[in-house]
Amino acid sequence: MQRMNATPSVKICGLSEAAHVRAAAQAGADYVGFVFFAKSPRNVSVPQAKALAALVPDSVRKVALVVNADNAFLDVLVAEVPLDMLQLHGSETPARVAEVKARYGLPVMKAVGVGASEDLAALDSYAAVADQLLVDAKPPKDAQLPGGNGLAFDWRLIADRDWSVPWMLAGGLNPKNVAEAVRLTGAGQVDVSSGVESGPGAKNETLIAAFVNAARGG
């Protein structure tokens, strides 16, 4: 099982406003995420992300969340925005993960949706090629978004699991449940998006600070 971390790393994803980028950094987030997916209320353009990335301290890692992005888009994204990691949140195969990692020379995190025990096998496949795993709640079949739906999964499914690469817990986390999620899973990293919003895509600075504090046992 991933070692229990007294101070889990925290990722605040789906940031689209300067004030919220600053709030995440001030709260002590370890990662900030920018979403490049047109259907998402958190979607940002490459120029927007470039401006926001300029506000991020060097100590905070900048992550781009993309969904089945082609090389043409990724070429522009990586050239324009100073990123520390690419997060693949679509139906990318292990081969595609390896291709993206080799082409851009950036660490790659692969999101895998979990809804039942049979979904866990995919995590082993992606762990062989990705630098990190994002263990997320599997979206409903009719969902428009691959993540950020505010849904949790049964954390007991991964309570006794470990992988060969670092992993991050996501899916339905918020300031009220993140401490329990960390306790049950032993997650050393947690990711939140909708759980720190006052409305779809509308981040809340108070909730951001509360989440980071709660994740670290405050």
Show which residues are catalytic: 13, 136
| List of long-range contacts for 120-124, beta carbons under 8 Å, 24+ apart | 120/157, 120/158, 120/161, 123/161, 123/163, 123/167, 124/163
C-alpha–C-alpha distance, residues 46 and 36, integer Å: 8
Cβ pair 53, 82 in contact under 8 A: yes
C-alpha–C-alpha distance, residues 192 and 172, integer Å: 8
In 28-176, alpha helices (H):
46-53, 71-80, 94-104, 120-127
| Residue 166 exposed, middle or buried by CB count within 10 Å (0-12, 13-18, 19+) | middle
